[in-house]
């Protein structure tokens, strides 16, 4: 049986500005998305039902509802597909670390199942923003400027970005990085963040546009 595979590259935000709130309550962002060579890998083969297995250094952290399965289920409903798929996730990226691991996985699943089920790619584009504001960018996996909630995309063609060395430092935190707190708690404010957030060792993402600055 043919087994399809699709990379899920790590996502970096080279810039991220919170400009207020949108009418629907989401944060209004200005950001620049870029994508690394390394990341997770999603595989699939034809099956009667939808299923997901996982391996890799961070596979044991996949608890509760998974975005890969949610993406698959939403795409199947949108495209009116009756077939299933046996999905497998090779989880190399840390969970909830701000580099789009879950979003990249979901986007890779959308691309992968579009090929497996031989459906119109427009279905994946319609499902993506319903799953998360950065999933449309991850679906493209190309350098882009993001507006709105991050899902209003304009492609960037900047030769300074391609091939730029990147260093990702992961201290193996015991708790997930609280992205909503990071967007709503200004560092200049005198009050302390929630006690749980104080204990979160953060994933540090360093992206250097000058290779000489890479640590």
Catalytic positions: 11, 134
State the Cα–Cα distance between residues 147 and 129, nearest whole angstrom: 13
Residue located via tokens 């970005």: 161
Judging by DSSP bridges, how do beta strands 144-147 and 84-90 pair with one another? unpaired
Can you point out the beta strands (E) in the chain? 4-21, 27-47, 50-55, 84-90, 144-147, 152-155, 166-169, 204-207
Task: Say which DSSP state 98 is in.
Answer: S
Tokens of 212: 């000489």
State the Cα–Cα distance between residues 110 and 150, nearest whole angstrom: 19
């Amino acid at each position: 049986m043919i087994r399809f595979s699709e990379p899920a590259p790590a996502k970096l935000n080279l810039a991220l500005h919170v400009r207020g709130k949108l009418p629907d309550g989401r944060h209004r962002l200005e950001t620049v998305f870029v994508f690394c060579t390394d990341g997770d890998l999603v595989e699939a083969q034809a099956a009667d039902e939808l299923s997901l297995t996982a391996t890799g250094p961070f596979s044991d952290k996949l608890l509760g509802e998974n975005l890969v399965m949610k993406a698959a289920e939403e795409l199947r409903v949108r495209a009116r597909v009756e077939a299933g798929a046996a999905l497998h996730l090779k989880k190399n990226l840390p969970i909830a670390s701000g580099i789009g691991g879950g979003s990249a996985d979901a986007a890779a699943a959308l691309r992968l199942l579009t090929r497996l089920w031989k459906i119109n790619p427009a279905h994946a584009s319609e499902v993506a923003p319903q799953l998360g504001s950065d999933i449309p960018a991850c679906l493209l996996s190309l350098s882009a400027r993001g507006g709105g909630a991050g899902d209003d995309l304009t492609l960037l063609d900047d030769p300074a970005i391609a091939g730029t060395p990147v260093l990702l430092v992961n201290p193996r935190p015991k708790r997930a990085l609280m992205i909503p707190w990071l967007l709503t708690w200004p560092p200049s404010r005198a009050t302390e963040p929630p006690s749980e957030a104080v204990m979160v060792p953060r994933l540090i993402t360093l992206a250097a546009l000058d290779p000489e600055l890479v640590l």
